[in-house]
A and B are shown apart, each in its own frame.
Chain A
Amino acid sequence: DAGVIQSPRHEVTEMGQEVTLRCKPISGHDYLFWYRQTMMRGLELLIYFNNNVPIDDSGMPEDRFSAKMPNASFSTLKIQPSEPRDSAVYFCASSLFSITDTQYFGPGTRLTVL
Chain B
Amino acid sequence: GDSVTQMEGPVTLSEEAFLTINCTYTATGYPSLFWYVQYPGEGLQLLLKATKADDKGSNKGFEATYRKETTSFHLEKGSVQVSDSAVYFCALSGTASKLTFGTGTRLQVTL
Instruction: List residues of chain A with CB under 8 Å of any chain B CB.
Output: 4, 42-43, 45, 48, 56, 91, 93, 99-100, 102-108
**Known: A42-B103, A43-B89. Contact between A99 and B98, CB under 8 A?**
yes
Instruction: List residues of chain B with CB under 8 Å of any chain A CB.
Output: 32, 41-46, 49, 89, 93, 97-99, 101-104
B93 to A, closest residue via Cβ: A100
In the complex the two chains form, is B93's CB within 8 Å of A43's CB?
A: no
**Known: A42-B103, A43-B104, A100-B32. Contact between A106 and B43, CB under 8 A?**
yes
Contacts of B102 on A, CB cut-off 8 Å? 42
**Known: A43-B101, A45-B98. Contact between A99 and B43, CB under 8 A?**
no
Contacts of B43 on A, CB cut-off 8 Å? 4, 91, 93, 105-108
- How far does the alpha carbon of A108 sit from the alpha carbon of B89 in the complex, in Å? 16
* Number of A-B contacts defined by CB within 8 Å: 41
In the complex the two chains form, is B42's CB within 8 Å of A107's CB?
A: yes
The smallest C-beta distance from A14 to any residue of chain B, in angstroms, reads 25
- How far does the alpha carbon of A100 sit from the alpha carbon of B33 in the complex, in Å? 10
30 pairs, CB–CB < 8 Å, chain A vs chain B: A4-B43, A42-B102, A42-B103, A42-B104, A43-B44, A43-B101, A45-B98, A45-B99, A48-B98, A56-B97, A56-B98, A91-B43, A91-B44, A93-B43, A99-B93, A99-B97, A100-B32, A100-B93, A102-B46, A102-B49, A103-B44, A103-B46, A104-B45, A104-B46, A105-B43, A105-B44, A105-B45, A107-B41, A107-B43, A108-B42
